[in-house]
Amino acid sequence: MANAMDGAVVTMEQVGGRTLRTAAWRLDMPSDHLPILFFNGIGANIEAVAPLAAALPERGFLMFDMPGTGESPDPLIPYNPFTMSWTAAQLLARYGLDEVDVMGVSWGGAMAQHFALQHPSRTRRLTLIATTPGMIMVPGNPAAFTKMADPRRYIDPEFMNEHFATLYGGVDKDGAEHQKDSHIGRLKPPSPRGYMYQLMCMMGWSSLPALPFMKKETLIMMGEDDQIVPVINGKILKAMIPNSRLITFAGGGHLFLLTHADESVAAIREFLDAPDTAKEAKRAAA
């Protein structure tokens, strides 16, 4: 876990009336690229996706533990996508960041959509990974959701090993044992309240009505063997977001961002490095 966090500046930030454990990579270094604001999956702590920050050394990277997740204290009151997007915008201001490339995985992909819609002036491009348009989604394997609700997936390696394929699907190019061990080794279980409030946050929420108005260049990435978020959800996002493209990963499960890391990073880098569109160039000039 320590290696995954090499180079991260970890602080406890007081923003929006909340205390958030925050990790920042390379924000104080000059770069020709905008930094990335990353929204994590449900119950996942910063360390779970820290390898992605390390794999993009040319960019700044900012991520935080949701309230009650990782080492962020429990939330006192429930929150919703609007209030957490506002809090994330306050966090950007704390770091002096006017504009970022926004990225999110799974539950965090829904947050990323909402942030881009709520704060378009702070968002350049949007990357959505293994995610859905919210409550109006095509559900995955019921067995996967049953195992996902079991807190043992965070703390019991034997449970994770036994049910990994049911939970996440996909094939690890480096071998199943590597996939399980590397993932479980970076997880820290959320608090019961933190996990419940994350579930409650998205209850009744859907981005579908607003997606046709999403003006950002958007990359949608899906695993073809995802047991939690079937690839059809990515196709729905592609159909609803005007300036979007969809990439699917053969043999990729819900964790293809880690198991197909080289392919995933290459796709992200190609998308973010692509020349500005006419609209982006006009906006940058303004």
- The residue from 72, 106, 207, 264 that is catalytic is 106
CA angle, 250 then 255 then 261, to 5°: 70
Residue owning tokens 């500046």: 9
> Which residues, including other chains, have CB under 8 Å from residue 25's CB and lie 6 or more apart?
7, 8, 9, 53, 54, 60, 61, 62
3-state secondary structure of 13: strand
CA distances from 114 to 96, 167, 201 (A): 21, 26, 12
Mark whether 106 is an active-site residue.
yes
Give the residue among 222, 203, 218 at the shortest CA–CA distance from 42: 203
The rounded distance, in Å, linking the Cα atoms of 40 and 104 is 6
Please identify every residue annotated as catalytic: 106
